[in-house]
């Protein structure tokens, strides 16, 4: 089956209708936490979808109906349904998938290395493969978040590899995913409008129609690929800088003997004030990464992103401050760090989402271990074995001296206040998430320190 | 008349009722843009109000019914009305006013010097005078925005001067004004809840009742004087840092050939994203000042407010960048800066509000004058004579080469696009406020540069 549809050139309404009518074949490269839900949503809308991933076992299991994203609402049903309808199947053969497809979507991870330099290798790998099946009238859509300028470069690479001309023979669009783990399908279909930028007006028109079929909140077309790229990165950077501001205000509150949580709550009664919450640090594969996309591309153009850099530094140093609070608590108990037993509550960077990339829990644990503390880790969504495999000491209810709350799981309140398991003799509590009140903590006989509270 | 009411000690409802029933005499120190409206609102609620100011002519005129705040909606009516009812009068005799009053409110300006050090002299002057009339049962309320820790220090000074004990004999409260010029009366009475912190629970109770009679949005009591101080300063700091972020993103957009205004608008369709607008700089006596309140007090405690400092620097450098854009425009016209005629549109830092403290217009003008440009200034709310007195060249329709929009007055659009007065031959337009579209500017034959737009 060779596709005859040339989606580039279709009007907005024709593209929308073609997708719904099952006339569009889409290859989705990257079947991870964002890519698989997108592929399934497209199948649900009506497309024939070929999902591409390099992991053979993963692909085999998907085709057998094994859902790798059990925690992601809606994926179970859609996967079963569209393996059945035949509108979704997975493959490792990216060339074949591209040949069959009218629309090629790339949604693979984009990260930065330890020096803050973006690593776009997975994307270029996709382009290398997809180019072999690129045909006239096809559209390549990048959904991964990238440093501004990337889509254009990928398009140039597709030109080199295919001999076709971007903007004429084939189109390139950037339509950044705007999703959060745990609500990906809802985010794809109805949370926010879709942002689209394209290599040329014709491609823009077709891609707007394409996403109108998917997203109930509609589509916002912006004037260039780079503008669409910037939209997504700016959103993340706004959060990173505002979390850093909250963290700096938390440090201020500690030295000035006020409670930053109380102050922020009151300040935010001014309707234009949106001060964020402080915390133990900023985890994930988005917020801590995107600032570097701008820092790096700005640097290449001789511009120093001073605010973004210092915000990153403040957020990256927060786990050290939390370790300091633990040391302060142990000091209050007249205990050396060495040999003390510390329980870190929360390993994921967000409650209930099994993700620990850049989680502040890791540097907190490591910093205390450096001084010889015995640090246990507990997180309801991680198995003991998983933590052990990563080199952490899983908590199985052993008695501890100090408890530190890193992630905001509600159930930690009960664990702590009712002194369950090994917390019977725990003497101090460090709360980085404002999960426990000072009064209730002290009523439960903890020496209590709260991040950002100097009262 | 010596007041018999001891407001400290009244329950919330009793304090509220006493104010409404005309049983409370209030001295308001500082009859400026915030203080006079507050004094009049209190009279309107029912209080007997003595307004105190050090400017004799100003006080005389007020008592004769001359309104110094003509642009402030509602002041005209309330001033006339309460001179008539006798519930408001002004005086320069601060000691007398304090003696007669149950509640003493200070609302004088608090600024920083050129080194960023807070200058609280006007406040200590008020305390010096007010202390002479301080009696048991009185409450001293600070409404001026101050560095956290200030109310406590003022209270200690009142103790020293009066021999009375704070928290016992008299109360101290901080209830920061949350108002903007041009809408002060609305802001005092119904825009946002009032924030109150106090020296002791009894004072807190009475002051909450007091403001409940004034503010329809109610009162939020916080746990300390310093917490209330921080609330107001944090609000301002949030804005300063976010404007700085927007400015840094504008500089990024210029080097990356995107339009920051388009990108921000699209990014803000994510409901948790509130990226601010970039601009020529941050003016006023609030936003550019408050960060220094935190920077200074943190520094005294060994804490470096890194984000606040770099945000200030970015905002303070924006006028230089705008001057650079003007130079770039002149360069495009192949003109040297020397001898070129530049029109700066907007002198106030906000449209329609006659205030120019820290306005970016001044450094823009000065920087261009340094290179020998002939810089005219025009602002609808400033008279030519006023501008001349401050050392600026008022524009009276003279022909110019380049126009630069600094303040967002809608009427500038017509002036520019219809090429009124001396704009017939103007060749270039620099827009720092996204007031004019690129297409319409180019249709009107301007060489067009927009801050944050590298397209």
Same domain, B184 and B108: yes
What contacts B413, CB < 8 A, 6 or more positions away?
Answer: B435, B436
pLDDT at B113: 86
Best mutation target, B176, B257, B306, to test chain A (most A CBs within 10 A): B306
Q: Which residues constitute the domain of residue B91?
A: 12-224
Q: Compute the distance between CA of residue A268 and CA of residue A261 in angstroms, rounded to an integer.
A: 11
Please check whether residue B416 is in contact with residue B422, taking contact to mean a CB–CB distance below 8 angstroms: no
Q: What is the 3-state secondary structure (H, E, C) of A49-97?
A: EEEECCCHHHHHHHHCCCCCCCCCCCHHHHHHHHHHHCCEEEECCHHHH
Residue B280 and residue B344 share a domain: no
Residues B261 and B277 in one domain: yes
- pLDDT of A143 > 60? The answer is yes
Q: Would you call A256 and B226 a contact, using CB atoms and an 8 Å cutoff?
A: yes
Active-site amino acid positions of B: 232, 286
Domain boundary among B224, B259, B286: B224
- Give the count of alpha carbons within 13 A of A425, CB side only: 9
B296 and B394 together in one domain: no
From chain B, the residues in CB contact with A224 under 8 A are 257-258, 455
For residue B252, the chain A residues in CB contact (below 8 A) are 230, 294, 298, 303, 305
Within a domain: residue A229? no
Q: Are residues B258 and B402 in the same domain?
A: no
- Domain identity same for A294 and A317: no
Residue A163 neighbours by CB under 8 Å, 6+ apart: none
Q: Are A303 and B251 inside 8 Å of each other by CB?
A: yes
Q: Give domain status of residue A146, yes or no.
A: yes
Q: What is the CATH number for B69? A: 3.40.50.720
Enumerate the residues of chain A whose CB falls inside 8 A of the CB of residue B232: 267
Residue B309 C-alpha, separation from nearest chain A C-alpha, in angstroms:
9
State which residue of chain B sits closest to A259, comparing Cα positions: B227
Place of tokens 């509150």: A253
Q: What distances in angstroms separate CA B404 from CA A386, B322, B426, B432, one per listed residue?
A: 61, 9, 11, 7
Whether A338 and A438 share a structural domain: yes
pLDDT at A4: 64
Q: Do A271 and B230 touch (CB under 8 A)?
A: no
Report CA dihedral (A408, A409, A410, A415) to the nearest 10 degrees: -110
Q: Which residues contact A120 (CB under 8 A, 6 or more apart)?
A: A110, A146, A147, A150
Gap between the Cα atoms of B455 and B451, Å rounded? 11
Contact A252 B313 (CB under 8 A): no
A66: pLDDT strictly greater than 50: yes
Within B109-224, residue ranges assigned H as helices are: 121-130, 150-162, 184-186, 201-212
Dihedral Cα B6, B8, B12, B13, nearest 10 deg? 0
Of the candidates A449, A239, A359, the residue with the CA atom closest to the CA atom of residue A247: A239
Instruction: Say yes or no: A117 contacts chain B, CB-CB below 8 A.
Output: no
Report, as residue numbers or ranges, the catalytic residues of A.
232, 286
- d(CA A337, CA A334) in angstroms, rounded, equals 10
Q: At what angle do helices A225-256 and A150-162 cross, to 10 degrees?
A: 150
pLDDT band at A3 (very low <50, low <70, confident <90, very high): very low
Domain-located, residue B455: no
Q: When comparing pLDDT for A353 and B150, which is higher?
A: B150
Name the minimum distance, in Å, from the CA of A252 to any CA of chain B.
6
Any idea which residue has 């299991």 for tokens? A61
- CATH number of the domain residue B252 falls in: 1.10.1040.10
| Overall average pLDDT of the A2-27 stretch | 91
What is the band of A277 on the pLDDT scale with cuts at 50, 70, 90? very high
Residues A302 and A319 in one domain: no
Q: How many domains does chain B have?
A: 3
B75-85 vs B35-45: helix crossing angle, rounded to 10: 50
The contacts of residue A165 (CB under 8 Å, 6+ apart) are A159
Q: What confidence score (pLDDT) does residue A2 get?
A: 46
Question: Could you tell me if A99 and A133 are in contact, meaning their C-beta atoms sit under 8 angstroms apart?
Answer: yes
Q: Is residue B234 part of a domain?
A: no
Percent of chain A scored above 90 by pLDDT? 94
Report yes or no on A5 lying in a domain: no
**Chain B nearest C-alpha distance from A88 (Å):** 30
Residues of chain B contacting residue A271, judged by C-beta atoms under 8 Å apart: 192
Instruction: Say whether B234 and A195 touch across the interface (CB within 8 A).
Output: no
Name the residue of chain A whose CA is nearest to B297's CA: A256
A190 vs chain B: nearest CA distance in angstroms? 12
- Per-residue pLDDT reduced to its tens digit, A191-209: 999 999 999 999 999 999 9
B77 with B130, same domain? yes
Chain B hits for A251, CB-CB cut-off 8 Å, are 303
CB-nearest to A224 from B258, B305, B314 is B258
Shortest distance between the Cα of B375 and any Cα of chain A, in A, equals 29
Q: Where a domain ends, among A308, A336, A354?
A: A308
Q: Which residues pair with B28 in a beta bridge?
A: B51, B105
pLDDT above 50: residue A420: yes
What sign has the CA pseudo-torsion B379, B385, B391, B394? Answer: positive
C-beta of residue A342 within 8 angstroms of C-beta of residue A326: yes
d(CA B7, CA B22): 13
Q: Tokens 């153009």: give the residue.
A: A301
> What length does chain B have?
455
Cα B194 to Cα B196: distance, rounded to the nearest angstrom: 6
Residues from chain B that touch A314, judged by Cβ atoms under 8 A, are 306-307
| Pick from A226, A251, A264: CB nearest B258 | A226
Buried-exposed string B88-125: b where 16+ CB fall within 10 A, e elsewhere: bbbbeebebbbbbbbbbbbbbbbbbeeeeebebebbee
Residues of A in contact with B242 (CB under 8 A): 241-242
B377, B392 contact by CB (below 8 A): yes
CA distance B51 to B75: 14
Same domain, yes or no: A214 and A288: no
Nearest to B255 among A227, A257, A303 (CB): A303
> Residue B220 in contact with residue A266, Cβ under 8 Å?
yes
Which residues are paired to B27 by β-bridges? B50, B104
Is the residue at B7 inside a domain?
no
Percent of chain A with pLDDT over 70: 99
Q: Do residues B21 and B170 both lie within one domain?
A: yes
Residue B1's pLDDT is: 44
Q: Is the Cβ of B147 closer than 8 Å to some Cβ of chain A?
A: no
For residues B290-294, average pLDDT: 97
Confidence of residue B4 (pLDDT cuts 50, 70, 90): low
Say if the Cβ atoms of B241 and A241 lie within 8 Å: yes
Calculate the average pLDDT of chain A. Answer: 96
Bridge partners (DSSP) listed for residue B8: B10
pLDDT-derived band of residue B212, with 50, 70 and 90 as boundaries? very high
A263–B294 CB contact, under 8 Å: no
pLDDT in tens, A161-179: 999 999 999 999 999 999 9
Separation of CA B135 from chain center: 32
Binned at pLDDT 50, 70 and 90, residue B3 comes out as very low
Domain end position, chosen among A258, A290, A308:
A308
Measure in Å the smallest separation between the Cα of A251 and chain B Cα atoms. 8
Partnered with residue B430 across adjacent β-strands are B404, B449
Q: Choose among A178, A226, A252: nearest Cβ to B257.
A: A226
List Cβ neighbours of A390 (8 Å cut-off, separation of 6 or more). Answer: none
Give SS3 for A29: strand
Asked if B5 has any chain A CB less than 8 Å from its own CB, the reply is no
Helix (H) or strand (E) holding B228: helix B225-256
Say whether residue A238 is in contact with chain B using an 8 A CB cutoff. yes
Mean pLDDT value across residues A296-316: 97
CB of B311 less than 8 A from some CB of A: yes
Residue A395 lies in a domain: yes
Q: Is it the case that residue B403 has pLDDT exceeding 80?
A: yes
- A256, A259, A438: best to mutate for the B interface, most B CBs within 10 A: A256
Average pLDDT of the segment spanning A51-64:
97
Q: Does B344 reside within a domain?
A: yes
Return d(Cα A169, Cα A8) in angstroms, integer.
9
Which residues partner with A378 through β-bridges? A345
**By the CB < 8 Å criterion, does B32 face chain A?**
no
Give the Cβ contact number of residue A12 at 10 Å. Answer: 17
Question: How distant is the Cα of B263 from the closest Cα of chain A, in angstroms?
Answer: 5
Domain match, B295 and B323 both: no
Q: What whole-number distance in Å separates Cα of residue B185 and Cα of residue B146?
A: 21
């Amino acid at each position: 089956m060779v596709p005859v549809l040339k989606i580039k050139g279709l009007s907005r309404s024709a593209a929308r209708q073609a997708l719904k009518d099952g006339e569009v074949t889409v290859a989705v490269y990257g079947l991870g936490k964002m890519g698989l839900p997108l592929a399934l949503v497209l199948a649900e809308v009506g497309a024939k979808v070929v999902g591409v991933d390099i992991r053979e076992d993963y692909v085999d299991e998907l085709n057998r109906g094994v859902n790798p994203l059990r925690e992601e609402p809606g994926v179970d049903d859609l996967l079963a349904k569209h393996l059945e309808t035949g509108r979704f199947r997975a493959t490792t053969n990216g060339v074949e998938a591209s040949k069959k497809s009218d629309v090629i979507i790339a949604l693979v991870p984009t990260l930065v290395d330890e020096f803050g330099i973006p690593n776009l290798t997975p994307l270029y790998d996709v382009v290398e493969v997809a180019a072999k099946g690129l045909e006239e009238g096809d559209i390549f859509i990048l959904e991964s978040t990238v440093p501004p300028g990337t889509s254009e470069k990928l398009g140039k690479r597709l030109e080199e590899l295919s001999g076709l001309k971007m903007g004429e023979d084939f189109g390139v669009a950037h339509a950044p995913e705007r999703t959060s783990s745990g609500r990906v399908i809802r985010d794809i279909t109805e949370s926010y409008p879709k942002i689209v930028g394209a290599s040329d007006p014709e491609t823009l028109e077709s891609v707007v129609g394409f996403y109108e079929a998917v997203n109930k909140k509609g589509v916002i077309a912006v004037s260039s690929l780079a503008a669409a790229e910037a939209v997504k990165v700016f959103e993340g950077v706004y959060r990173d800088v505002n979390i850093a501001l909250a963290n700096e205000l938390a440090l201020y509150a500690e030295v000035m003997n006020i409670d930053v949580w109380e102050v922020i709550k009151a300040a935010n009664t001014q309707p234009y004030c949106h001060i964020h919450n402080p915390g133990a640090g900023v985890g994930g594969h988005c917020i801590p990464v995107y600032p570097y996309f701008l820092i790096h591309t700005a640097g290449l153009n001789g511009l120093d992103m001073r605010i973004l850099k210092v915000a990153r530094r403040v957020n990256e140093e927060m786990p050290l401050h939390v370790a300091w609070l633990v040391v302060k608590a142990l000091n209050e108990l007249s205990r050396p760090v060495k040999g003390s037993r510390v329980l870190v509550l929360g390993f994921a960077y967000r409650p209930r989402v099994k993700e620990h990339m850049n989680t502040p829990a890791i540097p907190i644990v490591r910093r205390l271990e450096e001084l010889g503390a015995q640090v246990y880790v507990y997180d309801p969504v991680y198995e003991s074995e998983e933590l052990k495999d990563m080199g952490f000491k899983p908590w199985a209810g052993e008695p501890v001296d100090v408890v530190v709350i890193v992630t905001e799981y509600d159930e930690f309140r009960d664990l702590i206040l009712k002194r369950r398991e090994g917390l019977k003799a725990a003497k101090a509590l460090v709360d980085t998430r404002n999960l426990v009140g000072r009064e209730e903590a002290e009523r439960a006989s903890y020496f209590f320190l709260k991040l950002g509270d100097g009262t």
